[in-house]
Amino acid sequence: MGRETKETEENRKTRHKMVVVGPHISIITLHVNGLNSPIKRHRVAGWIKEQDPTICCLQETHLSPKDKHRLRVKGWRTILQANNEQKKAGVAILISDKVDFKAKQIKKDKEGQYIMIKGTLHQEDITLINIYAPNTGAPKFVKQLLIELKEDINNNTIIVGDLNTPLTPMDRTSRQKINKEIIELNEKLDQMDLIDIYRTLHPKTAGKK
């Protein structure tokens, strides 16, 4: 989706990407596919420290609400997450100790598919939404979620995550098709003035690996 003036980022099946929001603010997003392994958590923590982002968003953590300590990374004490009791799905947002961030409102679901944070970052308003869409019916899920969060989405909104949806033919694999649900999702994105910043910056790059 997009960033900057109507700012939102879609990042499906993306292993790692960094987005620069301002001269001193960066956001990385990583689909971790489970963090119950100590070795994997150590590797992810090391990668976060190496990238040194302002904000780190994780998808498919497979953690329970009681597992917040498993997300601890030195230098990123602020941890906000949405989890499923059965350790399915799961999303998390880690915020660097180096920045002045204040959360004003948090919305999340009980399935661990999304978390939304509204607050201020260096006294500037920011709304951050981290989504992990289900493998089945992803376009419909994302569209409905955008409708539900419509009043919260504004020109300071950034959406990251794994949408499990190819928004354009350039994003899809040979087995994926742009169907009616994806077309309707794109129409909703246009209506809400959301921009796929990756596709805007890389219009000819196939896929989002």
Question: Which residues neighbour 1 within 8 Å (Cβ) at sequence distance 6 or greater?
Answer: 8, 9, 10, 159, 189, 194, 195, 196, 197
- Let me know: does 164 contact 31? Beta carbons within 8 Å: no
**Residue 73 near residue 95, CB atoms below 8 Å:** no
Q: Which residues are annotated as a binding site for Mg(2+)?
A: 60, 162, 164
Rounded (5°) CA angle 143-159-94:
135
Q: CA 34, CA 46: separation in Å to the nearest integer?
A: 16
Strand order in the sheet with 101-108: 101-108, 114-121, 124-132, 157-162
Q: What is the Cα–Cα distance from 13 to 166, expressed in whole angstroms?
A: 10
